[in-house]
Chain A
Amino acid sequence: MLKLETRPEPSRMMSVLSPLLALAITVLIGVVLFALLGKDPLRGLQAFFVEPVKSVYALTELAMKATPLLLIALGLAVCFRSNVWNIGAEGQFIFGAIFASGVAMMAGKDTSRLIVVAILLAGVLGGMLWAGIVAFLRDKANASEILVSLMLVYVADMVLSYLVYGPWKDPNGYNFPQTINFLAVTQIPKLATGFRVNIGLLIALACVALFWLFLFRSYAGYQLQVGGLAPAAARYAGFSSRKALWTALLLSGGMAGLAGALEAAGPLGQLTPHVPAGYGFAAIIVAFVGRLHPVGIVFSAILMSMFYIGGELAQSRLGLPKSLTGVFQGLLLFTLLACDTLIHYRVRWVARHATARAA
């Protein structure tokens, strides 16, 4: 029978190989799934892995979808590294979008283009506020950040729907639950005409560098991670776990809020009940598949964004439900966690009688 043997030290090679192995298994399951549904697996694979990269326009669309995932996952990586389980990024994303929209709707015809800065800052603030509640309740009352952050997703969703059905509803919107279309001046600047991708991409890439510096070259980042890996050692060294909690949550909340602002004032250009698209949850997978490393997260955000676009294509071309995206995303995380076992353990074949004797 198979037996796991602890490796003397974690295998570096496996920690790089495991996401690739997980992806291979997920693709394999995908092929089987397509075949079971009577669809051509090759066409399915094409929709997910070829079409999203086959033209410049397709690539910019891929980058646009990857941007929010990248931003949110960077923040979540800091959280998970410091052992803070913020899984309510979706709610922080929604609040970022709400705050940003609040500012965007103040724009008049004389408003300066600088309002974009205010919109983005408002988004960051909104996300930080929503994550701050989690930090506060964890800090002051020891309430599980997992459950509180998640409950706040549902609350944020209801706040959003209250606003777009109520006070913020566009009076000329034919009774649709949505705000007015934001004025052109509030639009996040695009990178090139003819494409939807905007400066959010550049901001996200800059954040990758900043988060790399913070995590691996700063004392504060170091303190945070020690607290996550070895709480006792961190206490002994005098590193504050409270500080780590607040830093991780405010940072990740701010990043999710920024992503929300970029989405609302970017491709959407208004606030609707469809603002939450599950990016906050998908970013959890992005963070793990990217090994909680800023550079790894770039790759996994692109991969996850391929899943989104592939899911839409599978719907229009193959007549499959769009939720296929979620199936593959979930599967990828599942298989990744299983494959990660290989980092810490070696699989050995042990004859049955030998184990019986050992036991």
Chain B
Amino acid sequence: MPKICIALLVLLLTACSRGDGERLVITGSSTVAPLVNEMARRYAALQPGLRIEVQTGGSSRGISDARSGLADIGMVSRALRDDETDLLATPIARDGIALIVHADNPVAALSADEVRAIFTGQVNDWSAVGGAPGPITVINKAEGRSTLELFLAHFALDNPAIQADVVIGDNEQGIKTLVSDINAIAYVSIGSAEFAERRGEPLRRLPMGGVTAGIAQLRDGSFPLSRTLNLVTRADATVAVTAFLDYARSPAVHDLIEQQAFVPLP
């Protein structure tokens, strides 16, 4: 009996120990994660013995993990703030945030004032903004998410002022909630929205400031609500880390970036 216990313990311990190869841990933004996942898969195929783990948890986690050394690389879906300059940012792609409605919603576009009125609860019915009568379901993001910060900054809104009917976590949950409600409005990453549309989800992106929320507009810089997707590292990054950063900036991954409906940087 005790012998078996010891044998099991030894087995467990060896199973937990690391393999021989190099290991890269990348954590952070759930917007950037699917893209980095694809990059990592392709990169690992070129580098036998290298294991790359990609975990989500939001831009703040990407920053704090990169700082504390819990992760080798952090994923951040916004520009670095003034108090984050201790980290090095490597921009890898551009993304935009689009307002989305249900595909069967007849509203063609909303002005910035209408968006503000809807999200602050001054307008509660679609008929007031040129749609079919029906109570508007406002879908907002949970506190701390970079999509929320960008959205608030663009429309000069304050989170406490927003009268949300539903609060969601990641883009995917937002899309799932929106397509089940013809009267809902939400904002998600253009990449996630375009992906969902290709899957056949019934949703529609609204233009912003008269500009279509699409890839071409992101690329030529005309879309007003966009952001840079960054990988952040500490100043003392290892050779393996900088090699991966170089790969993520190279034309070899441009097709992956476009697949995810993001825009490669020149």
The answer to whether A and B come from one shared complex is: no
**Interface of A with B (CB < 8 Å)?**
none
